[in-house]
Amino acid sequence: MRLWIKNPLAILAEDAGGGIVVEDTRIVELVASGRAPSAPVDEAFDASRHVVIPGLINTHHHFFQTLARAHPKGMDRELFPWLMSLYPIWGRIDPEMFRLAVRLALAELLMSGCTTAMDHHYLFARGLEDAIDIEVEEARAIGIRAVMTRGSLSLGVSDGAAPPDHCVQDEDTILADSERLLNRYHDRSEGAMTQIALAPCAPFVVGLPLMRQSARLAEKHDCRLHTHLAETKDEEAYCLERFGLRPLDWLEEAGWMGPRTWLAHGVHFTCEECERLGRAGVGVCHCPTSNATLASGFCKTRELEAAGSPVGLGVDGSASNDSSNLMEEVRHAVLVNRLHYGSASAVTHRDALRWATEGSARCLGRKDIGRIAVGLQADLALFTLDELRYSGAHDPIAALVLCGANRADRVMVAGTWRVVDGVPPGLDLRALVEAHSAAARKFA
């Protein structure tokens, strides 16, 4: 079937004012303004009310944390005390609660215009051994493209770390399950809907042997590597005291300094370290809302990009963001970066949209998503500008970011409409919210 998304109000693509033609899962033609497709189409969708952008790509999240939004024990704290307060609460999660958390996070992301969802799941409390399998099932059910990372905690309270011991796994268990998931779900083909990455959590909750073994496993299975790094000054002090190394030197010691790796946060890298990351091709997921909520600091986005590092965008966990809305994250990225660099022109709305699309695709090692171009996957987010917030806006694409868009009218993933009139078809949102809210009350 050939679908013409016809005459959009605006589109984030060159020479496509007349729209785009989608066939099966791909974009097959860009139509110039005032022109018609070069070959017959089976259907046309009138997009004259819509601003069309590439589907947004989230490159860092913790779905289970949707159950702990605005939790009193986590509010108004920086990262380490925040973790110490919430780990005992998170450790009570059960499989039913987890499935609801995943379903709600995926729905929220999809409705915000996100077409590729990544989750960094590292909490394998008893009963949650199949957590990644649950995530894959839920992603497939809602129709979103997914990169699920098999995270891990190998150090617990008895080792002097924060996680409860019942949430910690030994390295052999972690590596065996990582290989199982890679064999079962990791699709390396173009247009892949499901991929697996390996993601030991952070320097203060995993050991170097696990990091090294994970790197070897990633090489064997041709998958990506992900971890938190350089998020806070406390982490930097911990690495210096425990290992005699700065966080980036610890990463290099682990054998992770290469283009397979993308990092979450990257707040406290020096300019010289940004150069090292760029030379190695290591990506960084910028998490502006979480960094602001926890007062972690500012990511050197411009220095990283100038050095050659892919820069993507992520909402981070819903307990440090209180939202899973990637379109809102784009706006926050503009505001936070302008504040950091002290200039209103330092980062534009197009820069932030690029991080959330092309930059995020590069972090994930994907060349088939992230842009509106012939041959790429038909992952699209369509927004209308008929709310009060947009009235008087002159540049439709800028309006999405500067006027605070937060909900797409339509979202297409791999050529299929997955959001119609603002809602995923077939998903009972009211019932989901009621069930999810009831589950969250167990954390009270």
pLDDT recorded at residue 378:
99
**Do 109 and 159 sit in the same domain of this protein?**
yes
Alpha-carbon distance of 279 to 288, in angstroms, equals 24
Alpha-carbon distance of 351 to 427, in angstroms, equals 33
Query: Is 0.95 surpassed by the pTM of this model?
Result: yes
**pLDDT tens-digit readout, 205-250:** 999 999 999 999 999 999 999 999 999 999 999 999 999 999 999 9
Count the residues in the chain: 444
Contact 106, 415 (CB under 8 A): no
Strands 283-286 and 26-31: unpaired
DSSP 8-state code for residue 270: -
The side-by-side arrangement of strands in the sheet containing 50-54 is 10-11, 50-54, 380-384, 410-413, 416-420
**Do 327 and 396 sit in the same domain of this protein?**
no
Tell me which residue of 398, 423, 431 sits closest to 100, measured CA to CA.
431
**Do 111 and 24 sit in the same domain of this protein?**
no
Assess if residue 433 is contained within a domain.
no
Assess if residue 29 is contained within a domain.
yes
Consecutive H or E run containing 432? helix 429-440
Q: State both tokens at 260.
A: 């397979």
Which residues of the chain are under the pLDDT cut of 50? none
**Do 45 and 72 sit in the same domain of this protein?**
no
**Do 147 and 80 sit in the same domain of this protein?**
yes
CATH of residue 20:
2.30.40.10
DSSP 8-state code for residue 359: I
**Do 407 and 325 sit in the same domain of this protein?**
no
The rounded radius of gyration (Å) of the Cα atoms in the chain is 21
Alpha-carbon distance of 124 to 200, in angstroms, equals 12
Look up residue 117 and give its amino acid: A
Domain boundary among 363, 397, 428: 363
Question: What is the residue whose two structure tokens read 């011991």?
Answer: 165
Alpha-carbon distance of 114 to 381, in angstroms, equals 7
Assess if residue 369 is contained within a domain.
no
Assess if residue 441 is contained within a domain.
no
Alpha-carbon distance of 171 to 216, in angstroms, equals 14
**Do 302 and 384 sit in the same domain of this protein?**
no
Helices (H) and strands (E) in the chain, counts: 15, 17
DSSP 8-state code for residue 323: -
**Do 340 and 404 sit in the same domain of this protein?**
no
Assess if residue 319 is contained within a domain.
yes
Assess if residue 92 is contained within a domain.
yes
Q: Distance between alpha carbon 243 and the CA centroid of its chain, in Å? A: 30
Q: Could you give the angle at which helices 131-142 and 171-185 cross, rounded to 10 degrees?
A: 30
**Do 386 and 308 sit in the same domain of this protein?**
no
**Do 182 and 215 sit in the same domain of this protein?**
yes
Consecutive H or E run containing 147? strand 145-152
Assess if residue 432 is contained within a domain.
no
Query: What is the tally of structural domains in the chain?
Result: 2
**Do 412 and 359 sit in the same domain of this protein?**
no
pLDDT recorded at residue 347:
97
Q: State both tokens at 12.
A: 């984030």
Could you tell me where the DSSP H helices lie in 91-152?
95-111, 131-142
**Do 74 and 108 sit in the same domain of this protein?**
yes
Tell me which residue of 96, 95, 77, 97 sits closest to 85, measured CA to CA.
77
CATH of residue 195:
3.20.20.140
Strand partners, 43: 3
Three-state SS annotation for 181-195: HHHHHCCCCCCCCEE
Domain boundary among 363, 390, 408: 363
User: The domain containing residue 404 runs over which residues?
Assistant: 2-54+375-420
pLDDT recorded at residue 318:
87
Assess if residue 187 is contained within a domain.
yes
φ and ψ of 382, to 5 deg: -120, 125
